[in-house]
């Protein structure tokens, strides 16, 4: 009987400690977010007169000519019979324009542009959406391909 009580007490203590660890992990995540904001604020106050520290924002509509983005997507999809997801198409478009495919902000912006563009083209029947792969929209060239 004593063994059962010991096991129950130790199990309860384990659950208490696990809960405490989870609450501390949440506090650590909050502290890391706060630290990021403090560092960003410090950076703002340390700015000199160098305009390169904060590059100007540029609209994506200036990066691609009219219809160029969709033409690039069609070319990429024709080479991939299984289809490509939006992220892969964004990387292809960025590389085709000779830009840095490692720039995550640029890739994400192109992804958002492609989602809008390809969804409209799907409604017109020019491209086929083939579900999702790893949470990202999958595209196949042409109608019912």
Contacts of 55 (CB under 8 A, 6+ apart): none
85 vs 9: CA distance, rounded Å? 52
Token pair of 62 as six digits: 């200036």
101 and 65 share one domain: yes
Domain range for 18: 2-53
Domain co-membership, 110 together with 42: no
- Overall number of domains in the chain: 2
Same domain? For 71 and 132 the reply is yes
The torsion angles phi and psi of 138, rounded to 5 degrees, stand at -105, 140
Tell me: do 65 and 132 sit in the same domain: yes
The pTM of the full predicted model, rounded to 2 decimals, is 0.56
What are 129's two structure tokens? 């959406």
Q: How far is CA 137 from the centre of its chain?
A: 12
pLDDT band at 58 (very low <50, low <70, confident <90, very high): low
Q: What pLDDT is stored for residue 57 in this prediction?
A: 63
Taking all residues of the chain, what is their mean pLDDT, rounded to a whole number?
82
């Amino acid at each position: 009987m004593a063994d059962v009580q010991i096991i129950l007490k130790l199990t309860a203590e384990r659950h208490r400690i696990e809960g405490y660890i989870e609450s501390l992990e949440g506090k650590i995540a909050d502290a890391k977010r706060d630290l990021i904001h403090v560092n960003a604020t410090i950076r703002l106050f340390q700015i000199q007169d160098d305009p390169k520290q904060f590059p100007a924002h540029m609209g994506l509509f200036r990066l691609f000519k009219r219809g160029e983005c969709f033409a690039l997507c069609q070319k990429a999809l024709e080479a991939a019979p299984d289809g490509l997801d939006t992220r892969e198409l964004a990387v292809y478009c960025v590389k085709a324009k000779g830009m840095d495919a490692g720039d995550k902000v640029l890739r994400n912006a192109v992804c958002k542009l492609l989602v809008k563009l390809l969804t409209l083209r799907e409604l017109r029947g020019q491209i086929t959406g083939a579900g999702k792969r790893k949470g990202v929209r999958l595209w196949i060239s042409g109608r019912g391909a």
